[in-house]
Structure 1
Amino acid sequence: MVELSTIARPYAEAAFEVAKTSNIAQWNDWLQSWSAVASNDNIHLLASNPKLSDQQVLDLFVELTKTPADAPARNFLAALVENGRLLALPEIARQFVELKNAHEGAADAVIASAFPLADSDVQNIRGALEKKFGSKLNITVQVDESLIGGVCVTVGDQILDSSVRGKLNAMKAALTA
């Protein structure tokens, strides 16, 4: 069976090409919204209902998501419905964000901290991380009490773990080796 990422790639690329000529931020918002709706179990039932025509599924989806009458957006959704790919929207949205970030020279970063961070701390960490990675970072901060102390930063597929939990795990591995 073909992987979902393989199915989603051409749709994400097509959406990004259209978005570059109009409004990337607006397309990103639409895709995030559509993705949230497409993740609903009832939408799965709707999209796979053989009694509904493609046009009926499209009309219901457009109504639920309050998609504007913008022709490219409706055409994109129509292509997804006609090809049975409506349920791939979460992966399409994820890949679209990757394309957007690459276009903007940015990356997503998640900072997990044992305690809530002050805005000044987040800005200091952002500055150090942007210097280290050489790109603009879109920061998301999460509180994870299991870290005990410190922070764990994830940028793409790289993890920088300076948490107390990470250090304890490293000591445990060294002692048992």
Structure 2
Amino acid sequence: MAELTTLARPYAKAAFQHAVAAQQLTQWSGMLGLAAAVTADNTMQACLKAPQLTNEQKGQALMDVCGEELDQAARNFVSVLAENKRLELLPEIAVLFEQYKAEQEQSVDVEVTSAFALNADQQDQLAKALSARLRREVRMQTREDASLIGGIVVRAGDLVIDGSVRGKLAQLAEALKSRV
């Protein structure tokens, strides 16, 4: 995975810099997301791995599937990726682009898993607390997992805050094991 990220980073930076200069962050985010989803499709994967097709044909196939959703600059970007045999990097490029975009917008995606459904007031309070802690605008997604028993688990990028009962029990069990 680190190798894919290393290869994808210069392409993601180039796309991001172009999108910023053209003031099209949202449009490029959508176009890259679409191209990444198409690239990840099993049928398109088979096409991209077909040895009888040239790189240009593979790029054109991807652009044909995406249709009018890609503007000329995005088509040029896909062509460059195809020429350099990097079309398979599109999903990773899209992920990196979104990270650059979030950094630019001073926002972060946060996933909150709770044992029980959080009401709107609890979600608002949690979003405000996380926003203050992370010093960013928080875009929060919530989901339920009864196996947590109680409490919540917050994931924001590399940061994980485990305030669940299950997590506390696991810590206690580990502490008891280390004393034996």
Q: Tell me if TM exceeds 0.5.
A: yes
- The AA in structure 2 aligned to 1:157 is D
Distance in 1 between residues matched to 2:167 and 2:176, nearest whole Å: 14
Distance in 1 between residues matched to 2:171 and 2:34, nearest whole Å: 40
Shift of 1:31: 1.3
CA 25–46 in structure 1, closer or farther in 2 if over 3 Å, else same: same
Shift of 1:114: 1.7
Q: Secondary structure at the match of 1:66?
A: helix
Aligned-pair identity (%): 36
Distance in 2 between residues matched to 1:132 and 1:108, nearest whole Å: 14
CA displacement 1:19-67 (0-9 Å, x = unmatched)? 1123101111111121111112222221121222333222221222234
* Cross-structure match for 1:14: 14
In the alignment, does 2:110 pair up with 1:112?
no
Does the 8 A contact of 1:67 with 1:73 survive in 2?
no
CA 69–25 in structure 1, closer or farther in 2 if over 3 Å, else same: closer
In the alignment, does 2:46 pair up with 1:45?
yes
* Cross-structure match for 2:60: 59
CA displacement 1:75-96 (0-9 Å, x = unmatched)? 0111111111111111111111
Q: Secondary structure at the match of 1:159?
A: strand
Shift of 1:141: 1.6
Provide TM-score, normalisation by structure 2: 0.90
Does the 8 A contact of 1:8 with 1:88 survive in 2?
yes
Supply the RMSD in Å over aligned alpha carbons.
1.8
Distance in 2 between residues matched to 1:69 and 1:99, nearest whole Å: 20
Shift of 1:131: 0.8
Distance in 2 between residues matched to 1:91 and 1:165, nearest whole Å: 33
Q: Secondary structure at the match of 2:116?
A: coil
**Residue pairs, 1:129-144, within 5 angstroms:** 129-144=130-145
Q: Secondary structure at the match of 1:153?
A: strand
Distance in 1 between residues matched to 2:31 and 2:122, nearest whole Å: 32
- The AA in structure 2 aligned to 1:63 is D
Aligned residues: 177
Does the 8 A contact of 1:126 with 1:137 survive in 2?
yes
- The AA in structure 2 aligned to 1:15 is A
* Cross-structure match for 2:154: 153
Segments of structure 2 that go 5 or more residues without pairing to the other structure are none
* Cross-structure match for 2:89: 88
Shift of 1:69: 5.5
- The AA in structure 1 aligned to 2:10 is P
Segments of structure 1 that go 5 or more residues without pairing to the other structure are none
Shift of 1:146: 1.9
In the alignment, does 2:129 pair up with 1:128?
yes
Provide TM-score, normalisation by structure 1: 0.92
- The AA in structure 1 aligned to 2:127 is R
Distance in 2 between residues matched to 1:125 and 1:100, nearest whole Å: 23
